Structure 1
Amino acid sequence: MRVVHFGHACVLLETGTARILLDPGAFSAGFEGERELDAVLITHQHFDHIDSEKLPKLLEANPGAKLIVDPGTEETVRKLGLEYQVVNPGDAVEIGGAAINVVGGQHAVIHADIPVVPNVGYLVDHGAFYHPGDSFFVPEQKVDVLGLPTGAPWLKAAEAVDYLRAVAPRVAVPIHEAVLANPAMHYGLFTNLAPEGTEVRVPARGEDVKLR
């Protein structure tokens, strides 16, 4: 599997059979130039996970790509006039020969006064890669590569470390870092406090990295 991190929550996966783009949001850059995508997956409705200005042009340039969204994002993509499929936790879909299992259900709590929105995580090829969106959901399946949330209004460093330990992947790729002035500080914590057997890899933005 090859992974490209376009900054923040946006990740491109090349599974060997499919090219899947997850969470192309407003804090990410470079994904708009991708072609021959098989699917675009959105975990939830927040603008740092779905860029409403760039998404229509991206899909126009990738006519074979299926747009898959959580229930909370449906209104956004409907207003954009896009074709889409809504998925819920427990659903399973196949994209270009890659298996996608939908898990989770809710965004992590930001503050008691802010309503909790839907959020789904995507397990690709039975745990070969897991993107949790903005949640601490731990899937039942063993995860090989985890997209690890690093910094957010709903997240502190200790919680990220505890989540890393709970999932215990073979490789952790830190994502969701754009809100931090110096994310390297968190990467060091992850490396030092990761569970035994977990490697923390920090690809440069846009770098194509083979992870297995």
Structure 2
Amino acid sequence: MRIVHYRHACVLVETASARILIDPGAFSAGYEQERNLDAVLITHQHYDHIDADSLPSLLEANPGARLITDPGTKDTVAKLGLTSETANPGDRLQIAGSTVAVTGGQHAVIHPDIPGITNVGYLVDGGAFYHPGDAFHVPSESVDVLGLPTAAPWLKAAEAVDFLRAVAPRIAVPIHEAVLAYPAMHYGLFTNLAPDGTEVRVLEDGTGLTV
């Protein structure tokens, strides 16, 4: 499997048979050049996870790609004139020979006064890669590579460390970092406090990791 981080929440996952792009949002860049995608997955409706301006052209350039979203983003993409499939927690999606299990259900709480929204995580090929979206849902399956949320209005560093320890992946790839001017401080915290057996690997924008 090869993983490419296109800044913030956007990750390209290349399995032996499938090319899956997750959360191409407004804080991400470089994913627009991708072709021959089999699917574009959206975890939730926030603009840093789905860029309504670039998504139509991305799908036009990838006519074979399925657009799959959480329930709360269905109307958003319909207003863009796009056809989508809705992923619910518990679903198991077959994408070009790979399996994607849908997990989670709710976005982490930003503030009690802000209404909650849906959020799904995507577990690729039995835990080979896990993208939780904006949530701390710990799947029952073991995870090899975790996309680890680093900074957001809904999290603090201690919570991210606790999530890292609860999932205990072999490799943690920090994502969701664009709100930080100096993310290296958080990366160092993850490295120092990771559970035994977990390696933190920071991927520079557009740089792939083969695992």
1:9 maps to: 9
CA-CA distance at 1:209 after TM superposition: 1.4
Please give the per-residue CA displacement for 1:16-71, whole angstroms capped at 9, x wherever unaligned.
10000000000000001100000000000000000000000000000000000000
Rounded Cα–Cα distance in structure 2 between residues aligned with 1:204 and 1:135: 23
Is 2:35 aligned against 1:53?
A: no
**AA in 1 matched with 2:78:** R
Map of 1:178 onto structure 2: 178
Q: How many corresponding residue pairs?
A: 211
> Per-residue deviation at 1:185?
0.2
Task: List alignment gaps of at least 5 residues for structure 1.
Answer: none
Report the CA distance between 1:172 and its aligned residue.
0.2
1:112 corresponding residue in structure 2 = 112
* Separation in structure 1 between the aligned mates of residue 175 and residue 120 of structure 2, nearest angstrom: 16
Query: CA–CA distance in 2 between the matches of 1:16 and 1:183?
Result: 31
The aligned residue for residue 102 of structure 1 is 102
Task: Report the equivalent of 1:199.
Answer: 199
Residue 157 of structure 2 corresponds to 157
Q: CA deviation at 1:141?
A: 0.3
Q: Give the letter aligned to residue 44 of structure 1.
A: H
* Distance apart, 1:208 and its partner CA: 1.5
Residue correspondence of structure 1 range 134-153 to structure 2 within 5 A: 134-153=134-153
In the other structure, the counterpart of 2:42 is 42
Indicate the residue corresponding to 2:121 in structure 1: 121
TM-score (structure 2 length as normaliser): 0.99
Question: CA deviation digits over 1:65-108, x for unaligned, max 9?
Answer: 00000000001000001011001000111001010100000000
CA RMSD of aligned residues (A): 0.4
Q: Please give the alpha-carbon distance, in whole angstroms, between the structure 2 residues aligned to 1:185 and 1:207.
A: 20
CA distance in structure 1 between the partners assigned to 2:183 and 2:155 by the alignment: 13
Unaligned runs of 5+ in 2: none
SS at match of 2:127: coil
User: Counterpart in 1 of 2:68?
Assistant: 68
Structure-2 separation of matches of 1:208 and 1:48: 21
Query: After the TM superposition, which parts of structure 1 deviate over 3 Å for at least 4 consecutive aligned residues?
Result: none
2-structure distance, mates of 1:73, 1:50:
9
Opposite residue 171 of structure 2, the aligned amino acid is V
The equivalent of 2:189 in structure 1 is: 189
* Structure 1 residue matching 2:187: 3-state secondary structure: helix
- Partner AA of 1:185 in structure 2: M
TM-score (norm 1): 0.99
The whole-number CA distance in structure 2 between the counterparts of 1:123 and 1:208 is: 19
For 2:69 and 2:31, how far apart are their aligned partners in 1?
18
Deviation (angstroms), 1:183: 0.4
Q: Percent identity?
A: 73
In structure 2, C-alpha distance between the alignment counterparts of 1:31 and 1:134, rounded to whole Å: 20
